[in-house]
């Protein structure tokens, strides 16, 4: 079962408290080394909730783990609006790399990758990054800038950042900015008629 954007909406009241407790429990268990052996009853006990609440909402540990990782990896980041696509992409990629290289985020990211079984379908984390890139690109295009495609940004900026973190390769703001420079070099300059 793959987490949908609908199921990752923020609930209110008791549901929000249960979600926060379960998310915290998953984070603690992952950080304590239980990523591969975690069970729903174990999560429920740590969260102080009934296991049926966890089963009802998430079904399986893999779905829960993915949702928690997505929430951790795509939190309420500000969408940059610097006035240029280069500035927006550099700021955005800097925010991403600063977040995903934090030790607790590395654990979540690797846990999410490890929890995906079989041939993975779409990842909610990727869908969110897709929406963010599309918004920045549309805004820049409306300003008359030459812009890359969303696929170029995802494949040549975002994917390398996540890849480096998952595989323990160096990733920092300078690396993120170099990926932005590479993708912008792919964009043909706009030619305006007189």
Q: CA–CA separation, 46 vs 60, rounded Å?
A: 16
Output the pLDDT for position 193: 44
Between CA 188 and CA 175 the distance in angstroms is 23
Ordered by start, the domain boundaries in the chain are 13-59, 77-185
Q: At what angle do helices 51-58 and 13-31 cross, to 10 degrees?
A: 90
How many angstroms separate the CA atoms of 29 and 151, rounded? 35
Contacts of 114 (CB under 8 A, 6+ apart): 35, 36
Q: Which residues contact 59 (CB under 8 A, 6 or more apart)?
A: 1
pLDDT of res. 15: 80
Instruction: Tell me how crowded residue 193 is: count the other CB atoms within 10 A of its CB.
Output: 3
28 close to 43: Cβ distance less than 8 angstroms: no
**7 near 13, Cβ under 8 Å?**
no
| pLDDT string in tens for the chain (194-residue length) | 344 443 444 445 678 788 888 888 887 887 777 777 889 999 999 999 999 989 998 888 888 887 777 776 666 667 899 999 999 999 999 999 998 898 877 877 777 676 666 655 666 678 888 999 999 999 999 999 999 999 999 999 999 999 999 899 999 999 999 999 999 999 987 644 44
| pLDDT number for residue 190 | 61
CATH number, span 13-59: 1.10.10.60
Half-sphere exposure (Cβ direction) of 164: Cα atoms closer than 13 Å: 19
The Cα 57–Cα 40 span in angstroms is 11
Residue 152's pLDDT is what? 97
Is 77-185 a CATH 3.40.50.10680 domain? no
CA gyration radius for the chain?
19
Give the C-alpha separation, 162 to 141, whole Å.
26
């Amino acid at each position: 079962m793959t987490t949908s954007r609908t199921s990752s909406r923020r609930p209110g009241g008791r549901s929000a408290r249960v979600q926060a407790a379960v998310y915290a429990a998953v984070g603690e268990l992952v950080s304590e080394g239980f990523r591969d052996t975690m069970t729903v009853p174990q999560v429920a006990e740590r969260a102080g909730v009934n296991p049926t609440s966890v089963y009802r909402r998430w079904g399986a540990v893999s779905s829960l783990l993915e949702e928690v990782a997505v929430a951790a990896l795509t939190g309420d980041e500000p969408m940059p609006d610097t006035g240029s696509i280069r500035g927006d992409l550099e700021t955005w990629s800097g925010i991403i790399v600063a977040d995903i290289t934090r030790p607790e985020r590395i654990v979540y990211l690797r846990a999410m990758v490890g929890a995906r079984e079989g041939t993975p379908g779409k990842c909610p984390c990727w869908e969110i990054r897709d929406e963010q890139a599309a918004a920045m690109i549309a805004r820049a295009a409306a300003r008359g800038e030459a812009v890359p495609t969303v696929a170029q940004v995802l494949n040549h900026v975002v994917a390398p950042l996540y890849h480096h973190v998952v595989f323990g390769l160096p990733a920092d703001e300078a690396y993120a900015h170099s990926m932005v420079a590479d993708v912008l070099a792919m964009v043909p300059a706009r030619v305006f008629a007189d």
